[in-house]
Amino acid sequence: MNTITITATQKTELSGFITDVRDTSVVSLYLRKYENDNGTGSVIEYQGISQGDGQFNFLYEDGNMQLWKAPLPSTDAAYRIDSWHGGPVKTRWLGDKTLPYLPSGVNLDLTAISLLVATAVANGNPTTLLQINNLLAPINAQLLTTYTQAQVDNKFIMKALGEALQIVRTAITFLDFCPTTAKDPLTTSSLTRRSWVQSHVASSINTAFAGYNPALQQQSPNIVRVIPAGVQEDNRVYRTFEVALNWAFLNSTPTRRIIIRVEGDAAGTTPPFDYNKWFTSNDIPYVDIECLQGLEIRLDETIYDTATRGDNIISGAILVNESDSGSVTFVKKIFYNCHFLSSFVPANGTFIFTSCRFIGCTTNVVNTYTTCQGTVLVV
């Protein structure tokens, strides 16, 4: 049986002398040999007998031995042969700084390494990595095989030999986190960051529309819309005609004429109660009412008065008298392209007009007109 002592140490060089401190983080170490020197046959494993503080003694038979299951020592550390065949030797380093973990199936000849180190370290200096790497060629060959197979298995990204850029040739799925970049794109095919895209788009829009600040829908501040199936936007959109009328009453002035634009009838939705009912009969000057064709405004049996003719212009509306026999009265209003509808059949509910003006209007009932201008066609 042969004996060898191997120590994990942290080594430093000071004034041409090598000093070391044992690496106590290594608590187990193994050697192994194959049945045949060519690396075939059964495997015999030898566990080092710990001497404490990272040092291990081995008893083994003749043959090519491998350092096996060797954990990486600490930074700036190495494995060192302290004795060989029971006799002392000079400082013989197994590699410069750290010795890689040896994959299975790699035959590392410790005898050859120790002889190389004994020759190369005649003055107590560690051998170079270049010399050791010549003996580690089997390891490099196996690692290359491992990485090549990993590339085939699509488990890793590997730059092919002779290629200047790293190229991914298969699809990659990121299960938890996607890759990120801190670089702005340089070409049309560059990957980029979301923040750069947002900033670039905002900058482009600001440049293209310099001086403009378009909202979802640009709208005059003198217009308020009635959309029963919509969402209320104060000073812009309301869901009932009466709420819009009250807003107009508070905001209209001789120099600010307000238009109430009725744009929907809530078809296919559940509209607010009496969304198209005109309750207010008080004088509301400087307010005009504009309906999309075919939209109704329901009326009360009351008098809708105006102090001055022209204070209210009503266009495009179907004005509905829902009474079976009562009358609706309008005073000093201008109607353009409106239809006056008595909703009962026979049509007994009528309209009374005083000092009004009509342009292109129709009705389904015989009404009363006093000091009015224009005609209303009965249809």
Report the first-to-last Cα separation within the chain, whole angstroms: 125
Q: What is each CA distance from 70 to 47, 101, 118, in whole angstroms?
A: 11, 6, 22
Mean pLDDT of 189-198: 87
Confidence of residue 219 (pLDDT cuts 50, 70, 90): confident
Q: How far apart are CA 356 and CA 376, in angstroms?
A: 11
State the residue for tokens 């009962």: 344
Residue 23 carries which side chain, given as an amino acid letter? Answer: D
Q: pLDDT tens for residues 279-330?
A: 877 778 999 999 987 899 999 989 999 888 888 999 999 999 988 888 999 9
For CA atoms 158, 163, 164, 168, the dihedral sign is negative
**Residue pair 21/10 in contact by the 8 Å Cβ criterion:** yes
Q: How far apart are CA 114 and CA 89, in angstroms?
A: 10
Q: How many CB atoms lie within 10 A of CB 66?
A: 24
Q: How far apart are CA 264 and CA 294, in angstroms?
A: 10
Q: What is each CA distance from 348 to 4, 100, 285, 338, in whole angstroms?
A: 122, 105, 31, 19
Q: How far apart are CA 124 and CA 83, in angstroms?
A: 15
Strand partners, 34: 43
Please give the pLDDT value at position 298: 93
Give the CB-side neighbour count of residue 378, counting CA atoms within 13 A. 8
Mean pLDDT of 170-176: 75
Confidence of residue 152 (pLDDT cuts 50, 70, 90): low
- Got the DSSP string for 67-78? EES----STTEE
Q: Is it the case that residue 80 has pLDDT exceeding 70?
A: no
Q: Is it the case that residue 334 has pLDDT exceeding 50?
A: yes
Q: How far apart are CA 287 and CA 252, in angstroms?
A: 7
**Residue pair 339/362 in contact by the 8 Å Cβ criterion:** yes
Q: Is it the case that residue 104 has pLDDT exceeding 50?
A: no
pTM above 0.75, yes or no: no
Confidence of residue 260 (pLDDT cuts 50, 70, 90): very high
**Residue pair 110/65 in contact by the 8 Å Cβ criterion:** yes
Q: How many CB atoms lie within 10 A of CB 38?
A: 9
Residue 152 has phi, psi (to 5 degrees) of -65, -40
